[in-house]
Amino acid sequence: MSLPEENHSRNPSDTEAGFTLLEILVVLAILGLLVGLVAPAALRQLGGARLSVAKQSLARIGTVLDMYKLDTGTYPSTDEGLEALIQRPSSVENWSGPYLKNSALPLDPWNHPYVYRFPSDQEGKEYDLCSNGPTGKSDAGSGQICNS
């Protein structure tokens, strides 16, 4: 007499698919470690990129100021500021502007206005053009970036 055989093999469609709580926790731990290691490096790169963009922007604005000087014979005064690159100052002859494409003053990578002074406070420079950096403050040691 033969006993009926029980079907001990499970059909894959009969089992429930899914992840265990332990598997999910392990994946979350690995993701947390990756974020903890990668995020600081990415933020450092972002800060370095902004610094590079600020230096390039200072050089570009410096070139525009040189074009202004070629046309008018002098750089804009501190009072006229960088606005003289967009709108003709009343006391200026031979203005061939606007010298900037946008009708707004340029902002540094941290969305602060550039600081412009003519004549320069420093020896060997005709004008000062600076970004106050991430803090937006012109205090000494605040990370101010200036034309060279």
* The pLDDT value given to residue 1: 56
Residue among 54, 73, 72 at smallest CA distance from 62: 54
* % of the chain residues with pLDDT over 90: 41
Task: Please give the Cα distance from 133 to 138 (Å, whole number).
Answer: 9
Q: Which of 17-21, 76-80, 87-91, 111-115 has the lowest mean pLDDT?
A: 17-21
Q: What pLDDT, in 10s, does the model give residues 52-96?
A: 899 999 999 999 999 999 999 999 999 999 999 999 998 888 898
Task: Please give the Cα distance from 30 to 27 (Å, whole number).
Answer: 5
Task: Please give the Cα distance from 82 to 106 (Å, whole number).
Answer: 9
On the question of pLDDT at 12 being above 80, the answer is: no
Residue range 32-46: average pLDDT?
A: 80
Residue range 5-34: average pLDDT?
A: 76
Q: Which of 10-24, 34-48, 58-72 has the lowest mean pLDDT?
A: 10-24
On the question of pLDDT at 20 being above 70, the answer is: yes
* The pLDDT value given to residue 92: 85
